[in-house]
Amino acid sequence: MAAASSLHAAPRVGSSSPFSSSSAGRRSASAARSVRVAAAAGSGAARRAGGRMVARAAVASKAESPASAASSKSDGHEVLLFEALREALIEEMKEDPTVCVFGEDVGHYGGSYKVTKGLAEMFGDLRVLDTPIAENSFTGMGVGAAMKGLRPVVEGMNMGFLLLAYNQISNNCGMLHYTSGGQFKIPIVIRGPGGVGRQLGAEHSQRLESYFQSIPGLQMVACSTPYNAKGLMKAAIRSENPVVLFEHVLLYNLKEKIPDEEYVLCLEEAEMVRPGEHVTILTYSRMRYHVMQAAKTLVNKGYDPEVIDIRSLKPFDLHTIGNSIKKTHRVLIVEECMRTGGIGASLRSAIIDNFWDYLDAPIMCLSSQDVPTPYAAPLEDATVVQPAQIVAAVEQICQ
């Protein structure tokens, strides 16, 4: 499944390789050349050809985990989730002058959620490019830049707006490596806020995971903490694949301590949030916090749920998921995506195909209602899975 979804995935290698001793020189050079993106592309290509492919791999070793990283030599520093994303962008743009940012208001305004605040002053107006309100055009420009050797990060001010760029993401971004016979790679990151916020209305509450999951050649990840937001952003930028990074609009102000040392996470690896014995709960993004809230109630009732943040929406980490199912024999999927054709439906199918013999109960899936998200707050809450529903579902599965 993973092989089918990653047409030209980078090999799995450790992410702990230090940058070469010449990185300081490259950083000063990149500042001088920030207005010459084309020259930067040639520099980046030459550097990758000169043995830099390991540093561009978008994976980390299997042994790495947030716990092990947090217990590193340094005590780390506290950041909000949007600040962690910004740190990742700054670090990668300093290291590699082929990395650039496109989008509406990403420049001197700093982005609608301040993920790109200060980047235009640091790297210049051509590496942090403010675009017109023309999603199809600037996403296509990002695909073309990636074909020519740059590593663009394209921001959708709101993920719902990227529906206007669906043609570029589907027919070009995901397929050009294959349709060109391998002549082009498309190392592009498409990112932005999505999900159900607080009374943002139907058009600004889109969850596009279900729209993009069927596009061949496209990888999808969803961040849920400052730690994994930074690690996944860095991994996505370094990947040779086109990657869509989903950020939830309500999680930007989450605070967490992250390591001072550099780290890069694996794009294809789930995170064990809470080990348990009775039932496997699979979730991602904002629903991780609804699940953990429900887990407190479940523990008080005598249940021991195992919680996994799948993080990689395409391909699924069936290794981690399968090991959990072989232990608990029961599965609950909790998502904010729509029930019809959502991530939960695909995940349920993959579990049935691969782990049917280990299941002692039917798989349950809690998803958002198949309705446009209402503006009224009580109705909005009614369309999204709540902790009480998760508790009731686990009690039903474990009967």
Can you give the C-alpha Rg of the chain in angstroms? 21
Q: Is 78 a catalytic residue?
A: no
Parallel/antiparallel/unpaired status of strands 128-130 and 99-103? parallel
Q: Is 8 a catalytic residue?
A: no
What is the rounded distance in angstroms from the CA atom of residue 371 to the CA atom of residue 303? 32
- 64, 83, 92, 135: the active-site residue: 135
- 204, 248, 290, 329: the active-site residue: 204
Contact 2, 12 (CB under 8 A): no
Contact 347, 316 (CB under 8 A): yes
Sign of CA dihedral 366, 370, 372, 376: negative
Give phi and psi for 205, each to the nearest 5: -120, 30
Residues near 197 by Cβ (< 8 Å), separated by ≥ 6?
Answer: 204, 205, 249, 250
Catalytic residues: 135, 204
